[in-house]
Structure formats: structure tokens, C-alpha cells
Structure 1
Amino acid sequence: MKEKIQEFLATDLLERYLMDNVTELESARVERYIAMYPDVRKEYLELQENLETYARLYAVKSPEGLRERIMHRVARERAGRRKFINYSIAASVAALFMAGASFFFWNQNQNLQQENALVNNKIQVLEADMKEQLEDVRNQFIVLNNPGTRKFMVNGNRKARELKAIAYVNPVKKLSYINVRNLPNLPEDQDYQMWAEVNGEMVNLGVLGQISDKDKLMALPYGDKGISYITIEPKGGNTTPSVQNIVADFSY
């Protein structure tokens, strides 16, 4: 910006402007620079004073009243230009304010759009979760109340004799659930884990926590030849079942 001002001051535009020897475009440029840049405005006022001083020193005696008329005109033009400069400064400040306000509101709008997108995503996730939960409740109702549902009692082996569970399988609706009603206590570094082998593929159904709701049903993958296992695994579960630690299993 300073280089731009220096380049302008290096020209003779200010001198020619004072001598009224500029084009309309040059005049508009000079007046814009005077309004926007204090260094240019200071130089302009100094040149104006120097020109007046020079004119006084080398002036030829003028007719009576001419000096007063000229000074009156100069004062009038100076007042007009000063008024223009003040308006220009005010316009520049207003433009800067409007630019700042526009950026602020644009930034606020961007933030609101981002927040709106996050809220919409959360709503979609909640709607999907609710839909899934409602579907699960509907399936549980079908399994428990449909006369075609078969029920299997599941008991633990010698490693977990107190383990009790009930499996529900409906081959018509192709739905399977299990209700684990009792799990023997384990050391703190071990967990029970549920598995299902469906059509030759092993599916990890997750770690079984403490039984807080004895009526809770856990969905099982349905298959024509399904086998479920409950194993004892290290704390937090395992990626593959420990066959030697199977404590219960049933076919459906």
C-alpha cells in the first residue's frame, strides 16, 4: 500500500490538479486518493499553501477587488473540496463497515449451515435407531406370540452349570432370539461371549454383560442350520471363539 501511495506522489497529478490541468478520470483518481490516504491529503494541502504563497510573492498588481474575488472563489472551492473529502472519508468508512458486516453475516450463515447439517445428521441417525428399535420390538412380539415359534431350553455344561437360557426360533418368519436368564460369576479378567454359526459362517454377537433384565431378548442371526455358542473369553471379548471354553450350545 505504501508503494502505491509513493508511486502516486511521484507523479505530477497533484500539481496539475491544483492547476486544473487534469482529465475527469485523473481528477476522480486524485480526489479518491486525497479522501482515502492521509499522506496524500497532507501533500495536497501543502502544495495548495505553497501555490498560494508563490502567487502572492509574484503576483502582478491586480485590479481593485480582484484579489478578494479570487480568494473568495478559492475559499469556496476549498470548502467544497473539503466537504467532498469528508463525504468520501465517510463513504469509505461506511463501505468498510458494510464489508465487515457482510463478512460477519456470511460467516454466521456458514456456521448456521454447518450446525443445521449436523442437527439433520443427528436426526437421521436417531430416526434410523428408532426405526431399528421398533422393528426389533415388533419381531420380539411375533416370536413370543406366534404359535409357529419353537422354544429351546439351554443349560450350561460342567464349566457353568448355573447358566440358564431360552432360545426362540420361528422358521416361518425366519426370526431367532435368545433370553439369557442366568450367568454364573466369572473372574474379573474374563467375560461370557455369544457366537452364532449360520450357514457355515461364524458371527460374533458380542460380550454378555450382567443380567439386569431377565426378560430381555437378544437377536440371533437366522439360518436353516444355525448353531449358537456361549464361551468364556478374556475380558472385553475375543475375535474368534475359544472352542475349549464353550459353556453352552444349541442348534436351531
Structure 2
Amino acid sequence: MDRKTILEKGLLLNYLLGELNAKDEELIESALQEDKVLRQEFQKLESDFERMALENAIAPPQRVKSSLEKTLTKYDNDTPVKSLSTSSAFNPARLLVAASLAAIFALTSFWFYNQWQTAEENIRVAREEKEQLQESLQKLSEEIQEVNAMYAQLNDKDVIPLLLKGNKLAPDARAVAFVNHKSKSVVVNPKALPALSEEETYQMWADVDGEMISMGLLPTDKDLVALTYIDKAESLNITIEPKGGNDHPTVERLISNIYL
């Protein structure tokens, strides 16, 4: 059983709680002996449990203690104790003390069990939050790298900025395409395109010898969109298409174009 499997399945926690079968316990114990990282993780887990148990410990209510003391005092003062032979001696007060101690032990055990369960849940939630945070940071890092790469493309000396203005179908539409024929890249800023319905999308096309080739979709909720560079394109064209895009342009919904 390798370290990754043990950590991903939370087997160290199950081992600590005694929830594994004998075979799995032996495997975990063997892994702990051989893997220093696992031992450190297990020791940390034990420390977290001890800390949470101390931080969340709850003392029994004072009324339980007071009630018990009054009951014991009453029986000590009011209950007669008959003198019998040693083998048949019976003392109700002692029996009450024993029963009361057992009740306190049961109550304390119940509280401790509840605190233990709470600590276990807190650890589980903390672990999930940590994983979610790591995923969010990873995604953010990837997005930052992507944006930085796009801005690097825009600052390249070989980039040609092209302004695509809207026609009579969308007179207020604007989009800027940054074309680099040397690196064969295209980045478009579509933010000035009018908003569409949820069932529509913008799509850009390259005209090559009279054939319109799709370069990709233009979602207006992004500042920059990287599209496919098409060799020997004579013009760039933007159309309004059904959600998800189209395999051929809807010419009657062409809103902008520019010749290269």
C-alpha cells in the first residue's frame, strides 16, 4: 500500500480511530515503519486530536455535581446501616455511591465521545477546505500564466492590431484582433461586443480563397480570447451563431469584418 493511496483514502485517520480490519492495520503499521513522511503525518494527526480534545473539553454541569453531593449527604445522614456479618453486610449508601460514580463515568464518556466525533468532523472539513483551496490556487495560477502569455503576445513587436467595427446589424459593436503572422497567433478583445442571449454566441471566421474557416468562439465575458491562426486568410469576420458555434457561418448574421 503506497503513501499516495493511504493519504488520499484517509487511512491514517481510520487507523487512528481503530476502524480498519486486521489486515489493513498490519499494512498501515508496516507503511508507518518504512515511510518517514507517513509517520510525520500520523504524528501530526495524533497531535491535532489531542489539541482539539483539550480545546473542546466540556466540564460536567455544576448542577449534576451538586445534586449528587446532596443525595450522598442525605443517605449518609438518614439511612441506617445494620450491623450484619461481614459476608452479608449491605450498605445502601455505598451502593448509591457506586451507582452514582458509574453514572458520572457514563456521562463523561458520552461527552468525550461527542467531542471526539466533533474533532473528527473538524479534521475532515479542514482537509476538504485545504484541498479546495489548493485546487483554487492551482486554477488561479494557470489562469494568471495564460493571461501573462497573452499579454506577452500583445506586446510583441510583430503584432498587428486590427479594429473590427460593427455594421448596420450591430452598429455599436467593436472588437480588436491582435494578429502575429510571424508567431502565427491571434488574440481578440471582444469586450465591446453587445451582449447576446444565452442561446447565441459570437464566432470568428477567416476567409481563405472564398472559404470561411472557423477560428473559434468569442465569449464576451473575457478580456482576451486566443483563437486559431489561419494561414493565408484574406479577411476576418464575426457572425452571430447558435450556442456552441456552427460548422459554417450564418452570413445573414455577419456583424463585422476586416480585410488583411
TM superposition score normalised by structure 2 = 0.49
Answer with 1 or 2: which has the greater Rg: 1
TM superposition score normalised by structure 1 = 0.50
